[in-house]
Structure 1
Amino acid sequence: MSTLLLTNVGELTTNVEGLGDDPADPTGLIRGAAVAIVDGRIAWAGRAGEKPPVVSTVVDAEGRAIIPGFVDSHTHLVFAGDRADEFDARMAGQPYVAGGIRRTVAASRAASDDELRARLAALVEEMHRQGTTTFEVKTGYDLTVDGEARLARLAREVTDEVTFLGAHVVPDEFVGDRDAYVDLVCGPMLEAVLPFTRWIDVFCERGAFTLAESRRILRAGIAAGLLPRLHANQLGHGGGVRLATELDVISIDHCTYLDAEDVRLLAASDVVVTLLPGVEFSTRQPYPDARRLIDAGVSVALASDCNPGTSFTSSQPLMVALAVREMGMTVAEAVWAATAGGARALGRTDVGSFALGARADLVLLDAPSRTHLAYRPGVPLVHAVYRGGELIA
């Protein structure tokens, strides 16, 4: 039996309501804490000095803060190529429109498995160094039957949370026959990716897929046994929220543009809203109003949307800082959204918190409190990262 005790923790964010110094605090914050790990699982969390389970190895946190490992529930990590020129153009005033995705499609189709695998491994290592211990990966950068299956297979090598996003954009060869492409996505392409995927997603947006197309694709995925997610309301108002609540998707992502009815529908549902502030940072779009959603009782997650076009960052600490500075969230809310919120957006109960029996994923910060994630933006504050009780960074 492997046992480990981390003690002398300056501040422990457990994300277990009722466990912390304030019983009503959903982040379960404990000051002067310790956490015990047995066989890679959380066995105990409480105040240092209280009696933990018998342990064989003790690690002195030296007053550092500890948070659960970040859960990044929205990424596009399997790709080739570079689109830095698009970023330059946007910073010079050119507006963002959906379409640059096709450039990445061309580069990814031309890349070998080894080239894609090398880029993917580098990004995963980058995420680990920044405290991310669970992450989702989407397909969507090939848009052929064999190619989407290849991307799903490569993604599955690094995570169980693989999403089929054949409905990313309509590829050039089908621009004149959208119906034929939707048929392909709902039929042969879906069948080809099924062995590797858990989720299905659609980019429901002008320049991508219509509401009717999105509904048809999601229903096909659900019928095949996949769980539904949705990109929507990024570039403007639309029917994405109504579709998300109609189909009871797990998470609707982006949600930059919401009206009062959208917020009402979300508050009355179990749908998680995943906000992606790295996109707004990179595209100069307005930031979503997280305060409005949280005050309405909506569950909010934070994710990086790491992709080569609109958010080429894998940093969940940056998402926390942006959410606090630009989206009206408190530090506690932002850290919860980037950990427990991300877990909820993936339908996971075994990560994102220090609940008894949860996988022991945790981040030691070179700081006395989680507030430093927003207080010191851009500073590498991650001291150590454990996943399943094993040191990985």
Structure 2
Amino acid sequence: MTATLVTGIGELVTFDPAHRGPLGLVQDAALLAVDGRVAWTGPGTSAPREDADEVVDVGGAAVIPGFVDSHTHLVFAGDRATEFEARMAGRPYTAGGIRSTVAATRAATDDELRRRLARFVAELYVQGTTTFEVKSGYGLTVADEQRLLTLAGEVTDETTFLGAHVVPPEFADDQEAYVDLVTGPMLDACAPHARWIDVFCETGAFTVEQSRRILSAGAARGLGVRVHAAQLGPGEGVALAVELDAASVDHCTYLSDDDVERLAASRTAATLLPGVEFSTRHPYPSGRRLRDAGATVAIASDCNPGSSFTSSMPFCIALAVREMGLTPAEALEAATLGGAAALRRDDVGHLRPGARAHLAVLAAPTYVHLAYRPGVPLVARTLRAAR
């Protein structure tokens, strides 16, 4: 048994109702982790120092739960900076740019993809993200989707089969044949390497009927359901996600009143991706509207080369506060507890006893600085399992 005591915490966010307010705040705090799990939190003056094998003093810094980034696309090759530059000059975003990344990814070796993936994971950790999901979706052949999921599985248990990202060029004249491939041989090859199945239910990608068929096939193989929906315009994707008890419906840029009511009455988290609206110049969805209705709200980076090439959860928090109507406390909750809900995890995203001792130590006196000082590298130290 190994016990680590983290002391000198100026402000500790636990989300533990035993402490103050909705964030479970403790001032001048300490945290004891035993075998990588939170065993105790409270005032530093009451810290059980005699139980600790190791003491880590953070010198008055604020400490928060590690971020839970529930939506990323980290396994890919190539670059789409030219596309971004054109968008900033006025060209609208469409789903078609994905195909250029597919071509580059198919041509890359496993070692090339693995090295790039390692760099992205390092970016996540240095910015306070301790739990993250990774999707496939840039291979779109049986062999390539399987290898992308295999690589993703080397860095996270939260792997998502996204063979239904777009229809690849070779199936442009027969989309149903591609759906047959996704729900048949591709699912057979990929299901053993995935925890989740996802689909881009959107104009230019997959219809609601195709999406239902794909997601139902994945669920029948024991995969949890996730959905990309309502990014480019209103549609039936949110209703489908709720119907299938999806863990999360992601983007939620264009929601009807009925969509908001459905989400509020369901277990499905609404995952907002503020980096996308920043990069595509689409309107930001209202997190305030969802929160006030009672829906579960998550924030994720959607790190990908086309529509949101950021791995920074602090940046996404700042955008959510400035552009989506969330308070700093609500945005932090969405980036931690909300992300955990979007992955149906109860062991991360908080620092209650029994949780994984995943912490972000801030070079700041309070979590509010995550939104107050946007663009500043405020994560001084990241600890996973208190190490």
The one-letter amino acid paired with 2:13 is T
Specify the code of the residue in structure 1 equivalent to 2:10: G
CA contact (8 A) 1:253 1:273 kept: yes
Root-mean-square deviation (CA, aligned residues, Å) is 0.8
Provide the residue aligned with 1:230 in structure 2: 227
Report the equivalent of 1:9. Answer: 9
CA distance in 2 between counterparts of 1:51 and 1:41 reads: 16
SS at match of 2:225: strand
- Indicate whether 1:160 and 2:176 are aligned: no
User: Residue in 1 aligned with 2:354?
Assistant: 357
Return the letter of the residue paired with 1:120. Answer: L
Partner of residue 19, structure 1 = 18
Inter-partner Cα distance in structure 2 for 1:2 and 1:14: 21
For normalisation by structure 1, the TM-score amounts to 0.97
In structure 2, the residue matched to 1:120 is 117
Which deviates the most, 56-65 or 157-166?
56-65
Equivalent residues of 1:289, 1:328 under 8 A apart? yes
How far did residue 149 of structure 1 move?
0.4
Match of 1:317, SS state, is helix
Structure 1 residue aligned with 2:37? 41
Once the two structures are superposed, the pairs formed by residues 198-277 of structure 1 within 5 Å of their partners are 198-277=195-274
TM-score (norm 2): 0.99
* Deviation by residue 1:108-151 (Cα, 9 ceiling, x = unmatched): 00000000001100000111110111100000001000110010
Runs of 4 or more consecutive aligned structure 1 residues displaced over 4 Å after TM superposition: none
Take 1:241 and 1:193, find their aligned partners in 2: how far apart are those partners?
Answer: 25
**In structure 1, how many angstroms separate the alpha carbons of the residues matched to 2:47 and 2:310?**
41
- 1:19–1:29 Cα contact (<8 Å) kept: no
What letter matches 1:20 in structure 2? H
Residue correspondence of structure 1 range 50-129 to structure 2 within 5 A: 50-52=46-48, 54-129=51-126
Report percent identity of matched pairs: 65
Structure 2 residue matching 1:99: 3-state secondary structure: helix
Determine if contact 1:21/1:31 at 8 Å carries over to the other structure: no
CA contact (8 A) 1:34 1:48 kept: yes
* 1:372 to 2:344 alignment: no
Q: How does 1:130-169 map to 2 (within 5 A)?
A: 130-169=127-166
Question: Contact 2:31 / 2:47 at 8 angstroms: preserved in 1?
Answer: no
Deviations 1:277-314 (A, max 9, x none): 00000001100100000000000000000000000010
Contact 2:137 2:165 survives alignment (8 Å) = yes
CA deviation after TM superposition for structure 1 residue 262, in Å: 0.8
Q: Does 1:32 align with 2:31?
A: no
Kindly state the Cα deviation for residue 322 of structure 1 after the two structures are TM-superposed: 0.4
Shift in Å, 1:51? 4.2
SS at match of 1:121: helix
Q: Distance in 2 between matches of 1:262 and 1:52?
A: 48
2:336 alignment partner in structure 1: 339
SS of 2:331's equivalent in the other structure is helix
Deviation of residue 63 (structure 1)?
A: 1.2
1:197 aligns with 2:194: yes
| Counterpart contact for 1:201–1:230, Cα < 8 Å | yes
**Quick check: 2:123–2:311 contact (8 Å CA) kept in 1?**
yes
Gaps of 5+ in 2: none
Using the TM superposition, give the Cα deviation of residue 21 of structure 1 relative to its aligned residue in structure 2, in angstroms.
Answer: 2.0
Give the CA deviation at 1:2.
Answer: 1.3
Post-superposition offset of 1:355: 1.5
Give me the whole-angstrom Cα distance separating, in 2, the residues matched to 1:344 and 1:355.
15
